[in-house]
């Protein structure tokens, strides 16, 4: 008998549940609201960058995801398990680098890692030395592995924390500011580790206050400001929403705007010249059109995209977000989430 009867319609593939999900997450520390109304979703397989200025609530959110901090309100689901009740099931498959990982100052990096490895439920005793050696190698700490943790630089401490997150293959790796204290070479190595994890199908959540870092490594972004998520989604979609402009300096602004509009290129006069929307055109096309129309072009430069501009302002000043920036954000947030 055939396994599929006539007229049977294949059931749609079940949607893959997210690696982590929070609903209405809130944390208040003695009157200070650290995190409020956070609905975060980390899609399985994604590298999600949690971006926000200092004090925006990234670490607190991550600690609540891992069950290290008890939320004042709201829910956390980690690898399908409700936290904190499901911690024993979820946490062995989650590698985490969080501030203050609690290494022993008088033990060497290797000895510290052996202790962490001994507590890994998914690691058999016989495999511990090999797993420790691999993790040290992966983060570039093999040569310094015999030195006491107390003498490690901030960057070396970060590397050791990263090594502890990588001791066993994980379904989900959470890294809180992993490049903090690292030199450019160390930063590149962390990026390579994240890329390797992504290629192996591991979901990664990485917090940062640096847009460039998130842009270089992430497929998705969640922007936090003052304890709330103000935008989240695929990086490409968010960047597109803040499309680029070209700033052209010319003494003949009116003629330039007309020439471009004749070619259906949207442009408008601004104090230093004209601003051209590059959504449907390119910089060379704009310049060619102006030159053909006999418009003298003194200078052409690309403006930062709305999103870059916004991220920069977020990282430059934690308290002041201009209304215009909030308007930009409003366009990035799905209406039903506002």
Residues of this chain that bind ligand ATP (CB under 6 A): 29, 32, 34, 52, 54-60, 209
Q: How far is the CB of 283 from ligand ATP (least distance, A)?
A: 35
User: Which of 34, 94 has the CB closer to ligand ATP?
Assistant: 34
User: Which of 36, 41 has the CB closer to ligand ATP?
Assistant: 36
Q: How far is the CB of 209 from ligand ATP (least distance, A)?
A: 5
Residue 168, CA atoms < 13 Å, CB-side half-sphere: 19
Q: How far is the CB of 270 from ligand ATP (least distance, A)?
A: 35
- Token pair, residue 180, equals 């903090």
Cα–Cα distance between 225 and 214 in angstroms, integer? 16
Cα–Cα distance between 176 and 162 in angstroms, integer? 10
Q: How far is the CB of 64 from ligand ATP (least distance, A)?
A: 9
- Token pair, residue 111, equals 């000895």
Q: How far is the CB of 29 from ligand ATP (least distance, A)?
A: 3
User: Which of 217, 245 has the CB closer to ligand ATP?
Assistant: 217
Q: How far is the CB of 46 from ligand ATP (least distance, A)?
A: 20
User: Which of 59, 158 has the CB closer to ligand ATP?
Assistant: 59
Strands 228-234 and 32-38: unpaired
User: Which of 78, 267 has the CB closer to ligand ATP?
Assistant: 78
Q: Sheet with 228-234: list strands edge to edge.
A: 94-97, 172-176, 203-208, 47-51, 220-225, 228-234
DSSP string, 195-229: HHHHHTT-EEEEEES-HHHHHHH-SEEEEEETTEE
User: Which of 195, 210 has the CB closer to ligand ATP?
Assistant: 210
Of the candidates 23, 139, 19, the one whose C-alpha atom is nearest the C-alpha of residue 91 is 19
Of the candidates 142, 141, 169, the one whose C-alpha atom is nearest the C-alpha of residue 157 is 141
Query: By the 8 A CB rule, do 190 and 182 touch?
Result: yes
């Amino acid at each position: 008998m055939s396994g599929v009867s006539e007229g049977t319609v294949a059931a749609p593939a079940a949607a893959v549940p997210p690696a982590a999900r929070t609903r209405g997450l809130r944390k208040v520390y003695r009157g200070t609201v650290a995190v409020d109304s956070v609905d975060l979703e980390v899609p399985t397989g994604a590298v999600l960058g949690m971006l926000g200025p200092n004090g925006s609530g990234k670490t607190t959110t991550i600690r609540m995801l891992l069950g290290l901090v008890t939320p004042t309100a709201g829910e956390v689901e980690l690898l399908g398990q409700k936290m904190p009740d499901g911690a024993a099931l979820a946490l062995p498959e989650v590698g985490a680098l969080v501030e203050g990982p609690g290494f022993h100052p008088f033990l060497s990096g290797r000895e510290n890692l052996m202790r962490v490895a001994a507590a890994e439920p998914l690691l058999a005793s016989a495999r511990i030395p090999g797993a420790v050696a691999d993790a040290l190698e992966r983060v570039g700490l093999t040569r310094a592995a015999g030195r006491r943790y107390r003498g490690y630089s901030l960057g070396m401490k970060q590397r050791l924390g990263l090594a502890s997150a990588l001791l066993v293959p994980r379904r989900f790796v959470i890294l809180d500011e992993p490049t903090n204290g690292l030199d450019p070479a160390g930063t590149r190595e962390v990026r390579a580790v994240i890329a390797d994890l992504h290629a192996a199908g591991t979901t990664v959540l990485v917090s940062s206050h640096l847009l460039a870092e998130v842009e270089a490594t992430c497929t998705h972004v969640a922007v936090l400001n003052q304890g709330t998520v103000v935008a989240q989604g695929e990086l490409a979609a968010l960047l597109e929403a803040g499309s680029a402009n070209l700033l052209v300096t010319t003494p003949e602004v009116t003629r330039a705007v007309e020439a471009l509009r004749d070619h259906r290129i949207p442009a408008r006069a601004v104090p230093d010249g004209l601003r051209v929307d590059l959504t449907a055109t390119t910089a060379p096309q704009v310049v060619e059109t102006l030159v053909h129309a006999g418009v003298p072009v003194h200078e052409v430069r690309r403006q930062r995209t709305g999103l870059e501009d916004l991220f920069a302002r977020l990282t430059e000043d934690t308290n002041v977000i201009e209304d215009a920036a909030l308007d930009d954000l409003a366009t990035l947030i799905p209406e039903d989430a506002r």
